[in-house]
Amino acid sequence: MNIFNFVYLLGGLAMFLFGMNFMGTSLEKLGGGKFESVLEKMTNSRIKGLLLGAGVTAVIQSSSAVTVMAVGFVNSKIMSLNQVIGIIMGANIGTTVTSWLLSLTGIESDNLFVSLLKPSSFTPIIALIGIVLYMSSKGEKRKNIGSIFLGFSLLMFGMESMSDAVAPLQNVPEFTSLLTKFSNPVLGVLAGAVLTAVIQSSSASVGILQALTVTGTITVGSAFPIILGQNIGTCITAAISSVGTSKNAKRTSVVHLAFNVIGAVLALALFYGINAVFTLPFIKTAVNAADIAIIHTVFNVFATAVLFPFGKQLEKLACLIIRKDDGEEKTALMDERFLLSASYAVEKLKQQCDKMAALSKDNVYLCIELVKKYSQSVDKRIAANEERLDAYEDELETYLVKINSLDLSSGDSVNLSKLSHAIGNFERIGDYAFNILKTKRKMHKDGISFSSNARNELEVMSKAVSEIVDKSVAAFISDDAVLAAEIEPLEQVIDNLKAELRARHSKRMENGECTIDNGILFFDIVNSLERIADHCSNLAVCIIELSQGDYHTHLYLQSIKNKVFTENFELYLEKYKIR
């Protein structure tokens, strides 16, 4: 093997790793976060978790991504530790699909139809189709399909290149003697674990081992412990991901490690125990890529079958290793592990924004209640909610920036822009609600009260503001552009209400029915209510402008908005008794 073979090997490895990553990322984009959503919603039993973990891993071609996501689920309290055990076991089975795909490179036959199954026969065609779809498609879905084809082609080209590059090593005695040492179970397990820990992908490390089989020097005795070590090495990704997480999230990575270590120990004991008694005749037989896939699959199915009934015991073991302390753990609103999937991260951000919307609505309602009559308990609830809204803004804005740095689909970009506007508007709604609270605190402290006319007018405006907040929050949560189009006419009414109420109160001040100090407090409340309506209007405009659809849809929504404004403006004025 000369320097050119070595360079060719590195190039093949680069194509192989990039192709695997590119294909997985494209599959994730095509799924739009649906794979993670399915895992989240359908794991109420361990057997379902096992099947879904295997299925999702087989699709996105990464057990590491699935186990890291499982750590995120537990850290965010979306799932319990017991629920994700099935997912972890299923991920180990699902990852064997990659080795079976790669085993196709080892097909050798004179039969035409069998030869067509060899990747070198069909990969160029898939690559051609992929590049045509990728470069000519305007639609994101077709472009992602093209990316999947390109990723698969690069993966297979890389595998073929590595196999061609290492083929001359069969004539190198030093290489043969090195591989013979891996027949030692301890060295084999360590070699597999270190290789996988370095590249952080068991699928990739198994692929590299499959490429080395073309040398004819990889035997069953040396491949078996290496594969077991590769399963242990893949735990490093989840372990790193669990740093700084909750106790249960750390326990998730411990379960993952314990499952693979115990499975490897049992498999080694069984395999070498049988060999010691019966002397297995095939232990020194050279293996090919398909044999590696078989060993990989048999081990993972074996480990899952043996340890599946002991899920609770694995959970107890993790709890013994990571003990509970007396300190209260704070759960972050958003888990950074969700950033592995941009679409899923956007979906989780939307869920938190929905909670923020409901919280801001609750604070407006509480402040309207406070306008009627001051209450110490309501005061405390509003203040607590305002702190939570500020925390929402800080965490969600920070997370939004992180999502924005990812490779987003056009749909995710639109949704992210909508969420960015929403976070700011909901926080400002909370601020103006808190301003009302401060005004009422001053009134309560100084023993100030409004006249019956002033109270009635504030109640009229409060009803209008309650309605616009209701419509805005509902339109945002359901992403209803038609409902959002009804908000602007009501905001115009509230603007008129503000002007009318200020005029009436100014007249009362002129007539000596109200003091200047009282008048300033009255204007403060009216201004805050009107500003709440303004931010509801901002939110509605954003929902309409960023609604999914073409130009005709936009015109339709605009016509609805104009129609609602024309027909209902007079009705609003009558409803809130401004005449």
The closest alpha carbon to 96, from 48, 57, 69, belongs to 57
The crossing angle, in degrees rounded to 10, of helices 202-212 and 185-199 is 120
Spatial separation of the C-alpha atoms in residues 408 and 562, rounded to whole Å:
34
φ/ψ of residue 219, rounded to 5: -100, 170
* Pair of tokens at residue 469: 């907040």
Helices in 235-341 by DSSP H: which ranges?
Answer: 235-241, 247-278, 289-307, 311-321
Query: What is the 3-class SS of 100-128, one letter each residue?
Result: HHHHHHHCCCCCHHHHCCCHHHHHHHHHH
Separation CA 260–CA 250 (nearest Å): 16
**188, burial (CB in 10 Å: exposed 0-12, middle 13-18, buried 19+):** buried
What's the predicted TM-score (pTM) here?
A: 0.75
How far is it, in rounded angstroms, from Cα 373 to Cα 307? 62
Q: Which of 110, 20, 104, 4 is closest to 65 using CA atoms?
A: 20
pLDDT by residue for the chain (579 residues), tens digit each? 567 777 888 888 888 888 878 887 787 777 766 767 777 666 667 888 888 888 888 877 778 778 888 888 888 777 888 888 888 999 899 988 888 888 877 666 666 666 666 777 788 888 999 999 988 887 788 888 898 889 888 888 888 888 788 777 666 666 666 666 777 888 889 988 998 888 777 888 888 888 888 888 888 988 999 999 999 998 888 888 888 778 888 899 999 999 999 999 999 999 999 988 888 888 888 898 889 999 999 999 999 999 999 989 999 999 898 887 655 555 567 778 888 788 888 888 999 999 999 999 999 999 999 988 888 999 999 999 999 999 999 999 999 999 988 888 888 888 898 899 999 999 999 999 999 999 999 888 888 888 888 888 888 888 889 999 999 999 999 988 888 888 888 888 888 888 888 888 888 888 877 777 788 888 899 999 999 999 999 998 888 877 654 444 554 555 555 555 445 545 555 665 544
- In 10 A of CB 491, how many CB atoms? 22
Helix, coil or strand: residue 286: strand
Token representation of residue 461: 């405006």
Q: Confirm if 33 and 344 have CB atoms less than 8 A apart.
A: yes
Chain centroid to CA 369: 38
Q: At what angle do helices 81-94 and 46-60 cross, to 10 degrees?
A: 40
Which element (helix H / strand E) includes 398?
helix 376-404
| C-alpha–C-alpha distance, residues 245 and 262, integer Å | 24
Strand, coil or helix: 176: helix
Q: Do the beta carbons of residue 433 and residue 466 sit within 8 Å?
A: no
